[in-house]
């Protein structure tokens, strides 16, 4: 009888057979667990696919709206069917020196009653103040930064014809453009309010020798916030050359609505800036030391509203409601979002810079009485000034942009004041602004 030896050459095959049997038994024991796990995964995948499909379909039906939107509505204006108030008012011959909280206009033989957002008392006070300003021209825009309502829009022109100077973009922006440059530096170039900066020579000049990157023997060290508050041109000029450049300056000018049409109830001209390629041209633009960057007083008020309203610019609006002779409502104004040029953090830093203008900079003397007044102990103030002559030194363009924000949330305003002085210097824009703020906050 032939007996097979299990330890012969077939031993390895036999051992492999035993291992395969062991793996089969182990698999059969784990099969229920594997089946349960696989079924659960299939159910999860089905749920994700089904929910995603429903969500995409919902977004498609809703016009692909983003999941995270601003709380502020983005509708600029709401009008009744078959009506277009913006064109109606823009085509009418209005006397802009007599605008009030309500006025009447004629269209196609029909009288319309227009209710505006103007504060009649504030409007009349500013008009009387401007008539006594001894300026060649003057314009003031006061608005609510939270909803864009125009609270005052008044102007004066010596021997004028009643034009609306507040919406004309024919005035050099001067150092107001430093708001744009400072915002760009804070967001793109690592600047902070307390960052050390160096300048050489006078604060308000801009010679090529002042634009050298390295500090010289006669250089002065200061902080970025102090350079803004004192409006030191060479600091911003060097920043434009070495830290920002043409593309960044152009981008932030666009963010702050330069070279763009701004929607408004009345005709409004487009503010313009042309950013050059050469170094000295960049220095001029970034510092505002030029006469070719043009802005309107209304746009100037919107610049500072971005700072006061946490980086958000609300669409300016003057018209609240319009009725016909029968009392039928033809138009109802609504708040709208115009843009968000900067982050809330940048707006907070810009407030520190603009506060320095009030307390230590170019508005220090003008606003001294307000700073010391008990009525303004709980009012946050910030400003930027700008001054430049025309090419022939016939006129001096004198700007103030300012915000006044009471901490109780009431009477929060932003304002732009323009004074155009002739041979004799009239009341400065910062002085006019101080009088207007004091009147409005304390009345």
What DSSP letter does each residue of 221-251 carry, written as one string? EEEHHHHHHTT-HHHHHHHIIIIIHHHHHHH
CA distances from 87 to 150, 259, 265 (A): 19, 22, 8
Task: Give the residue ranges of DSSP H helices in 62-102.
Answer: 85-90
The per-residue pLDDT for range 365-402, each reduced to its tens digit, is 999 999 999 999 999 999 999 999 999 999 999 999 99
The angle formed by the CA atoms of residues 306, 311 and 315, to the nearest 5 degrees, is: 55
Do the beta carbons of residue 259 and residue 253 sit within 8 Å? yes
Is pLDDT above 80 for 133? yes
| Minimum mean pLDDT range among 49-53, 97-101, 242-246, 390-394 | 49-53
Reduce the DSSP state of residue 216 to 3 states and report it.
coil
Is pLDDT above 90 for 12? no
What's the pLDDT at 94?
66
Percent of the chain with pLDDT strictly greater than 90: 69
Which pLDDT band, with edges at 50, 70 and 90, does 277 fall under? very high
Which pLDDT band, with edges at 50, 70 and 90, does 104 fall under? confident
| Minimum mean pLDDT range among 22-36, 48-62, 149-163 | 48-62
Which pLDDT band, with edges at 50, 70 and 90, does 431 fall under? very high
Is pLDDT above 70 for 13? no
What's the pLDDT at 38?
63
What's the pLDDT at 8?
41
Give the pLDDT mean for 253-257: 98
Task: Measure the CA–CA gap between 32 and 88, rounded to whole angstroms.
Answer: 77
The per-residue pLDDT for range 203-248, each reduced to its tens digit, is 999 999 999 998 888 899 999 999 999 999 999 999 999 999 999 9
Centre a 10 Å sphere on the Cβ of residue 40 and count the other Cβ atoms it contains.
10
Number of residues that make up the chain: 443
Which pLDDT band, with edges at 50, 70 and 90, does 137 fall under? very high
Which pLDDT band, with edges at 50, 70 and 90, does 6 fall under? very low
**CATH match for 120-316+341-442 among 3.40.710.10, 3.30.70.2190, 1.10.150.120, 3.40.50.800:** 3.40.710.10
Percent of the chain with pLDDT strictly greater than 70: 78
What tokens does 70 get? 């601003």
């Amino acid at each position: 009888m032939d007996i097979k030896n299990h330890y012969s050459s077939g031993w390895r095959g036999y051992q492999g057979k035993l291992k395969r049997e062991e793996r089969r038994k182990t698999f059969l024991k784990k099969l229920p667990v594997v089946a349960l796990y696989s079924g659960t995964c299939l159910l999860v995948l089905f749920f994700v696919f089904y929910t995603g499909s429903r969500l995409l379909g919902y977004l498609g039906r809703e016009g692909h709206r983003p999941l995270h939107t601003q709380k502020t509505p983005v509708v600029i204006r709401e009008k009744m069917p078959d009506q277009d108030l913006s064109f109606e008012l823009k085509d009418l011959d209005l006397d802009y020196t007599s605008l009030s909280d309500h006025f009447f206009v004629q269209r196609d033989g029909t009288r319309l009653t227009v209710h505006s957002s103007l504060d009649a008392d504030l409007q009349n006070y500013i008009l009387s103040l401007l008539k006594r300003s001894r300026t060649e021209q003057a314009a003031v825009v006061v608005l609510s930064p939270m909803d864009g309502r125009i609270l005052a829009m008044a102007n004066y022109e010596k021997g004028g014809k009643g034009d609306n100077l507040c919406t004309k973009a024919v005035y050099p922006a001067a150092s107001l453009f430093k708001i744009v440059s400072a915002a760009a530096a804070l967001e793109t170039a690592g600047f902070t309010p307390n960052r050390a900066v160096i300048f050489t020579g006078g604060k308000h000049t801009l010679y090529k020798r002042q634009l050298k990157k390295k500090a010289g023997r006669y250089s002065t060290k200061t902080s970025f916030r102090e350079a803004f508050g004192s409006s030191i041109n060479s600091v911003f000029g060097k920043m434009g050359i070495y830290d920002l450049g043409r593309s960044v300056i152009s981008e932030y000018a666009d963010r702050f609505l330069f070279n763009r049409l701004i929607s408004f109830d009345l005709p409004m001209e487009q503010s313009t800036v042309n950013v050059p390629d050469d170094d000295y041209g960049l220095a001029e633009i970034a510092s505002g030391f030029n006469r070719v960057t043009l802005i309107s007083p209304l746009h100037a008020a919107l610049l500072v509203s971005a700072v006061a309203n946490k980086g958000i610019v609300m669409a300016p609006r003057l018209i609240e409601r319009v009725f016909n002779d029968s009392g039928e409502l033809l138009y109802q104004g609504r708040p709208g979002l115009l843009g968000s040029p900067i982050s809330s953090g940048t707006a907070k830093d810009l407030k520190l810079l603009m506060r320095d203008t009030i307390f230590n900079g170019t508005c220090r003397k003008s606003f001294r009485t307000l700073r010391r007044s008990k009525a303004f102990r709980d009012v946050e103030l910030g400003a930027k000034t700008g001054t430049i002559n025309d090419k022939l030194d016939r006129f001096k363009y004198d700007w103030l942009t300012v915000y006044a924000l009471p901490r109780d949330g009431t009477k929060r305003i932003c304002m732009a004041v323009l004074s155009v002085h002739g041979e004799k210097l009239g009341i400065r824009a910062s002085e006019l602004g101080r009088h207007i703020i004091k009147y409005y906050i304390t009345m």
